[in-house]
Amino acid sequence: MDVKPYIWSVKDFPKPGIDFKDITPLLQEPAAFRWCIQQMVERFRTAEVEKVAAFDARGFLFGVVVAYELGVPFVAIRKRGKLPRETISSYYEAEYGGETVEVHTDAIQRGERVLLIDDVIALGNCMTAGAQLIERLGGVVVGCCSLIEFATMRPPERLQEYEVVSLVQY
């Protein structure tokens, strides 16, 4: 299925020079959203995934459903200050400035196989920060999965040691 028609470009959002990819039309089309979830699940069904971790907030839209479909727990990776218990954090440079993400220290156990999901891989720095959090807790990253990848930004170079799966490339 070609889902690109359901991903709309919004020029100069959130600031001039940015070509934002709006996924809300995709979320409003059940067949397109279902196809995306099925693709993510099928690509990692045999990877012995034990947990799915995803990023606040748009990554949650995919991560929670993929975790449900795989029958495994979901781990929230959130922006600094949003999780209520003890956390570890990782700072990264994003497209719009620096960001810190956190995860609960008890979310992942040593040796657990974790699939990492976000809506977009742009520079690859956010995904790298999430992978570092998982590994600091002793987890094993079995893959990095996204709906969209900006291939022109060459993110896989930053994620060479992981399997990277993106459904749509720009």
Active site residue ranges: 58, 95
Residue 159 CB contacts under 8 Å (≥ 6 apart), including other chains: 121, 124, 127, 128, 131, 144
Residue 166 is which amino acid? S
Residues 35, 94: Cα–Cα separation, whole Å: 28
Q: What is the Cα–Cα distance from 117 to 47, expressed in whole angstroms? A: 14
Place of tokens 């893959």: 143
Cis, bond preceding 57 (omega within 30 deg of 0): yes
